[in-house]
């Protein structure tokens, strides 16, 4: 099921293509441990355009959340980050999120040009401030007057499906789902052009899941962009324009959502879809590799029914007009002009 989509109003370039808001090239993240290295994200490249909702999917531990935190400079001190991530703006030079430094990230990027819906609201909320104070302080920090902030806080609460009366509660008085809706309201308050939503539907029942997804979809239809990090493939199918499938720190498939859900190319993408209750309801066999001990070749090969000796070498990401995949033995997808 997909959300009803109004006419999209997005900025376009001279060729009619939507304007890139974020261009990531070769993002690699490593965490140094005492006696091991965690390969959290490896050589990730993607572009997010105005009006686009990109869903990043994959099993837990594949690197999805690390991607979001790397873009905002929120990784621990033992992280090593390389690559480039350009945040574009029509009236200014692009900012390299991976190289600009903390003053620029704190003063120009976080909450202003890029918003974050965190995966763990309990650790993101100030425990000694009510939800109302948190939202109003955020709005006032971004130029709203006192009276406007009060009215807009009520509107934001309603937008995310939170009873405005619940804004007067402290974080410890909120249920998990209510806290999730509050952090979504906080991320939306400054109206950033790009929103990174890390599992934004955690703890919500199905009607509120759909409500939140439709809210994110409307932001894109109004010209913004959303990177939706989720393990919920039904959520991705409902609202996504494009899907990036991550496995063991790498993107292994990146294609338009309608084509991915109709006919995935990578065997891992196919296995994820086969695990859905409305499909084969068959779990992906085996387990992902440890990110401290990745195989030299295709990381999915030990779980893949199509593996051959060729899979002992790592496949390159192969691009076409219909997206990209990294597999020596892609599944026939019907991707022909």
Domain presence at residue 154: no
Tokens of 119: 């995966």
Residue 283 belongs to domain spanning: 19-113+193-205+223-337
Mean pLDDT throughout 87-98? 92
Domain presence at residue 298: yes
What gap in Å lies between CA 155 and CA 228, rounded to an integer?
A: 23
Domain presence at residue 90: yes
**pLDDT at position 5, please?**
37
Domain presence at residue 10: no
pLDDT at 141 over 80: yes
**pLDDT at position 320, please?**
77
**pLDDT at position 17, please?**
62
Domain presence at residue 277: yes
pLDDT digits (tens, 9 = 90+) for 190-209: 999 999 999 999 989 999 99
pLDDT digits (tens, 9 = 90+) for 242-292: 999 999 999 999 999 999 999 999 999 999 999 999 999 999 999 999 999
pTM above 0.85, yes or no: yes
H/E segment holding residue 198: strand 194-198
**CATH number of the domain bearing residue 279:** 3.40.50.300
pLDDT at 7 over 50: no
What gap in Å lies between CA 314 and CA 102, rounded to an integer?
A: 35
H/E segment holding residue 271: helix 267-274
**pLDDT at position 8, please?**
37
What gap in Å lies between CA 173 and CA 154, rounded to an integer?
A: 18
Domain presence at residue 74: yes
pLDDT digits (tens, 9 = 90+) for 22-66: 999 999 999 999 999 999 999 999 999 999 999 999 999 999 999
- When pLDDT is cut at 50, 70 and 90, the band that residue 129 belongs to is very high
Q: Are 157 and 167 in contact (CB under 8 A)?
A: yes
What gap in Å lies between CA 295 and CA 302, rounded to an integer?
A: 9
Mean pLDDT throughout 173-185? 96
Contacts by 326-331 with C-beta closer than 8 Å and gap 24+?
A: 326/250, 326/251, 326/252, 326/253, 326/266, 326/298, 327/252, 327/253, 327/265, 327/266, 327/267, 327/298, 328/298, 329/267, 330/265, 330/266, 331/263, 331/264, 331/265, 331/266, 331/267, 331/270, 331/306
More reliable by pLDDT, 73 or 317:
73
Tokens of 214: 């439709």
Q: What is the DSSP letter of 109?
A: I
Mean pLDDT throughout 175-181? 95
**pLDDT at position 175, please?**
94
Residue 276, C-beta contacts closer than 8 angstroms, at least 6 positions apart: 233, 234
Torsion of CA 175, 178, 182, 187, to 10 degrees: 110
Overall number of domains in the chain = 1
Domain presence at residue 62: yes
pLDDT at 334 over 50: no
What gap in Å lies between CA 337 and CA 334, rounded to an integer?
A: 9
pLDDT at 296 over 70: yes
pLDDT at 16 over 60: no
Domain presence at residue 76: yes
Strands annotated E in 33-91: 37-49, 53-57, 79-89
What gap in Å lies between CA 6 and CA 189, rounded to an integer?
A: 22
């Amino acid at each position: 099921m997909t959300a009803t989509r109004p006419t999209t109003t997005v900025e376009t370039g001279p060729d009619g293509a939507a304007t890139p808001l974020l261009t990531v090239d070769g993002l690699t993240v490593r965490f140094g441990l005492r006696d091991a290295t965690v390969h959290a994200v490896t050589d990730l490249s993607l572009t997010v355009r105005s009006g686009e909702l990109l869903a990043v999917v994959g099993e837990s531990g594949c690197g999805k959340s690390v991607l979001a935190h790397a873009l905002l400079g929120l990784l621990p001190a033992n992280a090593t980050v390389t690559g480039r991530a350009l945040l574009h703006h029509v009236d200014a030079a692009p900012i390299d999120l991976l190289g600009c430094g903390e003053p620029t990230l704190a003063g120009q990027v976080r909450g202003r040009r890029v918003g974050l819906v965190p995966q763990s609201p309990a650790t993101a909320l100030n425990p000694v401030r009510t939800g109302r104070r948190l939202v109003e302080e955020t709005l006032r920090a971004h130029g709203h007057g006192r009276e406007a902030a009060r009215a807009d806080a009520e509107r934001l609460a309603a937008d995310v499906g939170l009873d405005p009366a619940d804004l007067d509660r402290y974080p410890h008085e909120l249920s998990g789902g209510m806290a999730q809706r509050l952090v979504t309201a906080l991320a939306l308050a400054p109206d950033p052009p790009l929103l990174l939503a890390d599992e934004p539907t955690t703890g919500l029942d199905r009607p509120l899941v759909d409500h939140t997804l439709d809210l994110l979809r409307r932001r894109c239809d109004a010209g913004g962009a959303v990177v939706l990090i989720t393990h919920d493939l039904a959520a991705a199918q409902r609202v996504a324009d494009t899907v990036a499938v991550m496995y063991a720190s790498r993107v292994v498939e990146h294609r338009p959502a309608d084509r991915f859900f109709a006919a995935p190319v990578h065997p891992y993408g196919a296995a994820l879809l086969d695990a859905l209750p409305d499909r084969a309801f068959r779990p992906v066999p085996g387990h992902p590799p440890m990110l401290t001990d990745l195989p030299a070749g295709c990381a999915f090969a030990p779980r893949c029914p199509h593996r051959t000796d060729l899979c002992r070498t790592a496949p390159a990401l192969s691009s076409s007009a219909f997206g990209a995949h990294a597999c020596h033995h892609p599944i026939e997808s019907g991707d022909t002009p």
